[in-house]
């Protein structure tokens, strides 16, 4: 990891980061590793009050996708929001086990897990910030690969869903993103007409 990517000073937190990223590296979703780091970078950029618990939550929020046999499968949910809720709960469960093994305090673990559970829909100032960082990062690091894998119609649906969950400030940022692919660029340009 490059010097500018060092987010933690405490050795135990560094160890947690190492274990989380080593697992995410094994995800079959190719954008997952960059997305984890990128979400953390956006969190630090967006939230001056980002604390270590928020940072660990941002890094590990999608970790369940790296467990081939335990991951929540989209096809088992007719409702996308229910799928996302189950995904968040499953990531929190896995992170609880990782942090327990590393002897973090119950208070620390409960807080990180609650933030992960809330990362898709927010619910308080800290969770809202992780939600924003995650959603901006989708447009920053995931969109192009998602489009290549899922096709235009699914990417459009996912982009609209992701855009709607952004704060006004984050929406302004996403509107400035540029893409080489003309269709993707048109999609991003069209998001400005979504009212809420």
Q: Which is nearer to Fe ion, 138 or 182 (CB)?
A: 138
CB closer to Fe ion, 33 vs 104: 33
Compute the least distance from the CB of residue 182 to Fe ion, in Å: 26
Cβ closest to Fe ion, residue 149 vs residue 183: 149
Contact 170, 46 (CB under 8 A): yes
Q: How many residues does the chain have?
A: 196
Smallest gap from residue 62 Cβ to Fe ion (A) = 4
Q: Which stretch binds Fe ion (CB under 5 A): 10-18, 72-80, 101-109, 126-134?
A: 126-134
CB of 65: closest distance to Fe ion in angstroms?
A: 9
What does the alpha-carbon distance between residue 139 and residue 161 come to, in Å, rounded to a whole number? 12
CA distance 114 to 92: 7
Q: Which one among 134, 139, 143, 162 touches Fe ion, defined by CB under 5 A? A: 134
Residue with tokens 């709607």: 164
Shortest Cβ 58–Fe ion spacing (Å): 9
Rounded Cα distance, 92 and 110, in Å: 9
- What is the CA 147 to chain-centroid distance, rounded? 17
Give the residue with the Cβ less far from Fe ion, 72 or 103: 72
Neighbours of 190 (CB within 10 A): 13
62 binding Fe ion? (CB under 5 A): yes
Q: Give the interface with Fe ion as residue ranges (CB under 5 A).
A: 62, 134
């Amino acid at each position: 990891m490059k010097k500018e990517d060092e987010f933690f000073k405490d050795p135990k937190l560094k160890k947690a980061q190492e274990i989380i990223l080593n697992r995410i590296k094994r995800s079959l979703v190719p954008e997952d590793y960059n997305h984890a780091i990128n979400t953390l970078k956006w969190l630090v950029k967006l939230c001056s009050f980002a604390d270590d618990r928020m940072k660990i939550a941002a890094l590990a929020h999608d970790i369940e996708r790296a467990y081939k046999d335990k991951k929540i499968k989209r096809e088992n949910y007719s409702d996308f929001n229910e799928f996302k809720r189950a995904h968040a709960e499953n990531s929190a469960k896995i992170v609880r086990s990782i942090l327990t093994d590393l002897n973090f305090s119950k208070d620390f673990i409960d807080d990180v897990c609650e933030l992960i559970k809330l990362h898709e829909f927010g619910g308080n100032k800290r969770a809202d910030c992780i939600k924003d960082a995650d959603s901006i990062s989708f447009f920053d690091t995931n969109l192009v690969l998602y489009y290549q894998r899922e096709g235009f119609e699914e990417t459009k649906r996912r982009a609209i869903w992701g855009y709607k969950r952004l704060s006004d400030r984050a929406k302004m940022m996403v509107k400035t993103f540029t893409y080489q692919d003309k269709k993707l660029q048109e999609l991003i340009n069209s998001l400005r007409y979504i009212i809420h």
